[in-house]
Structure 1
Amino acid sequence: MAGGGGFVYGEVVAFSAMVSIECMNVGLNTLFKAATMAGMSYHVFVVYSYAIATLALLPAPFFSRRSRALPRLSFSVLWKIGLLGVIGSSSQIMGYAGINYSSPTLASAIGNLTPAFTFLLAVICRMEKVIVRRRSSQAKVLGTAVSIAGAFVVTLYKGAPIIKASLSSSTVQLNQSLASSPTQNWVLGGFFLTCEYLLVPSWYIVQTQIMKEYPAEVTVVFFYNIVVCIIAAFVALVTEGTSPTAWILKPNVALASVVCSGFGSCLNNSVHTWALRIKGPVFVAMFKPLSIAIAVAMGVMFLGDTLYLGSVIGAVVISIGFTL
């Protein structure tokens, strides 16, 4: 009976949590794009969203049972959390810059490379062992490759339309404004997003190492948020200065995006850290290709986008990759 409960906790709950987080991230990326189109600086956006995430987790170090049962934070753990903050803030700034210059869809597409980068880095850091003759190693390699292939099918192959677009006037205006953003530069955006998804695997590896030394997810994420907020504030002050125009939030889509992103970031980092502790970096990275399929599905359901054959085929291939 205990074994069955362990399976549910380790497999079903982890799988459901990661799928939910990817759904949430696609929505948050779209909200961020809307906020920057309303004139908000993405540097300031990172500062405010992580400040909210820090406040949301403020009670965590004092009330977490796991934290009370563990020894005091050592210099080794604190140093790694600082490194994690540098990697995390850099990837966030790069990622938001990339979305600002391109689109959330391109961000999801380039994120497809995360599993491959994470798997290679985990093998180099000896967190994953690849023994060619073992079926478990073969399944990991094959599953990662199939998921990535499916994501690229969604991205690169359109095919015949299955469900045609049915757009309201407000949705048409939103899509036109997203497509004609004055700062749109797909080459520069792609460069920033590639840099982000080269940093994300490093974040997974360092966070997994921290969990081995100090397995208190919420407490670690709390201190991580503080570090990211401080670094992002310094960067924002250098790039934006102290002009009130850049820092004052108006009660519009920008404010809503910051609040949603703050709580979303808090939940996202906590779930990722928990999953890294119980399943490892490769498992977490495997869910990145799923985001492009989620972006397509949300576009069809909520924005009235056209559903194409390539999206369906790619989603099926991604599902096959998860089952291997």
Structure 2
Amino acid sequence: MEAYSPYVAMILVQFAYGGSNILVKISLEKGLNHLVFVVYRHVLAMVLLGAFAYVLERKHRPKLSFAVMAKIFVLALFGATIHLNVYYTGFSYVSLTVATALSNVIPSFTFLLAFLLGMEKVKITSGRGGAKVLGTIVCIGGSLIFTFWKRGCLLKGFVQKPLIHIYDTDQLRHHGNENWFKGSALILTSHISWSAWLILLATVSKDYPAPLSLNALICFFASLQSSFVALFIGRNPTLWKLDWNVQLLTIVYCGVINSALLYYLQTWCISVKGPVFSAMFSPLQLVIVALFSAIAFAERLHLGSLIGAFLIVVGLYCVLWGKKKDRFAVDEQKEDRNGTGDDKV
């Protein structure tokens, strides 16, 4: 059962992220300020993770050096402050399905950054090396097609009228192309930041092997960084006021589930399976969100968007196939070395 635990965890992560994207989209359209939202969710997550870390990790928590503290500060900067604020800014310009579909470029961006930093070795002449390179090219190409090719027939929706009204139809029609490009570009930028977070997290989790404490510190620094940004830009006190509505539900859900539970699950999965594995289930989130959006929001996509999404998913699994073959090769080398050692004994 332990062998399947990372797979079960990542499936739950994608369902939870799908639910949060739906709630966040509704809340942002109803007036929730995304800067304030990022601050509140990380403060809540910091309190929860800090309490659990104090109880469960106080006896075996490693010492926190200045170097590790600096790395955690950068982790918070990439994974929360930059990623989330840029993402939610772009999120307000595009539909829910578009934002979710573009998240599938994360594995390719992660692989590309790892390769540029020398953490990923690629032998293009081998099948697995070629698959990773080709998958990265196809995935990034699919994201560009998804973003810039809005021509072609508009596909028929599941329902004629949305069950949940959150869009200003006339405004979307008037600024559709401009918003689409701007929002997609911002979201892709945020995913580059998230890919950097995945790579750095794989390193820091080895230097500081206390996942609850690590994520509590990430949320602490993210709260400080995001508070500085929010107070500098959003000075209106009314933006910080909370009422008993969907906005408050979204903050609690994202603080407890996303920033606390999911950060911890992803940290654990990365420590067990590596940074690329944690992104392999992202197409599941696209399916969940797309079905909900098609029914609840009556979203419709162009044929070009579907072609781009298909290429993104194909490229994703080319990269993952290459990574899987890499693991098999490493395991075989270990078995050969162990077998040779046993023979000598």
The residue that corresponds to 1:273 in the other structure is 267
Q: Is the Cα–Cα contact under 8 Å of residues 108 and 136 in structure 2 kept in the other structure?
A: yes
Partner in structure 2 of residue 121 of structure 1: 113
- Asked if 2 retains the 8 angstrom alpha-carbon contact of 1:158 and 1:311, the reply is no
Percent of matched pairs sharing the same residue = 30
Distance 1:169 1:71 in 2: 52
Q: Are 2:97 and 2:289, in contact at CA under 8 Å, matched by a contact in 1?
A: yes
Structure 1 residue 304: deviation in Å? Answer: 6.4
The answer for the alignment partner of 1:225 in structure 2 is 219
Distance in 2 (alpha carbons) for counterparts of 1:204 and 1:178:
39
Aligned-residue offset at 1:193: 1.2
Match of residue 25, structure 2, among 18, 29, 33 = 33
Bigger mean CA deviation after superposition, 247-256 or 68-77: 68-77
Change (3 A) 1:308 1:19: farther
In the other structure, the counterpart of 2:185 is 191
Partner of 1:61: 53
Which of these residues, 84, 95, 113, is aligned with residue 75 of structure 2?
Answer: 84
Matches within 5 A, 1:165-314: 165-166=158-159, 170-171=163-164, 173-174=165-166, 180=172, 185-241=179-235, 243-263=236-256, 264-300=258-294, 314=310
Question: What is the TM-score when the length of structure 2 is the normalising length?
Answer: 0.75
Provide the rounded CA distance (Å) in 2 between the counterparts of 1:257 and 1:303. 18
Q: Distance in 1 between matches of 2:43 and 2:294?
A: 33
2:38 maps to 1:46:
yes
Contact 1:276 1:284 in 2 (8 A): yes
Partner SS, residue 101 of structure 1: coil
Counterpart code for 2:181: V
Tell me, in whole angstroms, the C-alpha distance in 1 between the residues paired with 2:306 and 2:254.
Answer: 27
State the SS of the aligned residue for 1:57: helix
Distance of 2:271 and 2:123 partners within structure 1: 23
- Give unpaired runs (5+ residues) of structure 1: none
The equivalent residue for 2:331 is: none
Identify if the C-alpha distance between structure 1 residues 18 and 146 changes in structure 2 by more than 3 Å, giving closer, same or farther.
farther
Relative to structure 1, is the Cα distance of residues 274 and 79 closer, same or farther in structure 2, using a 3 angstrom cutoff?
A: same
Partners of 1:169 and 1:137 in 2: CA distance: 45
- Return closer, same or farther for 1:159/1:239 CA change in 2, 3 Å cut-off: closer
| Offset, 1:196 | 0.4
Aligned residues: 313
What is the SS of the residue equivalent to 1:59?
A: helix
Contact kept in structure 2, 1:45 and 1:258, CA below 8 Å: yes
Please give the root-mean-square deviation of Cα atoms over the aligned residues, in Å: 3.6
- Does residue 1:71 correspond to 2:73, yes or no? no
TM-score calculated relative to the size of structure 1 = 0.80
Shift of the 150–240 alpha-carbon distance from structure 1 to 2, 3 Å rule, reads closer
TM-superposed deviation, 1:240: 1.2
Deviations 1:210-252 (A, max 9, x none): 01211221210100001001111111111111x3311101211
- Of 18, 23, 27 in structure 1, the residue corresponding to residue 15 of structure 2 is 23
Q: Distance in 2 between matches of 1:290 and 1:169?
A: 23
**Separation (CA, whole Å) in 1 of partners of 2:213 and 2:248:** 27
126 and 119 in structure 1: CA distance in 2 versus 1, 3 angstrom threshold: same
Change (3 A) 1:317 1:160: farther
Structure 2 residue ranges without an equivalent (≥5): 323-345
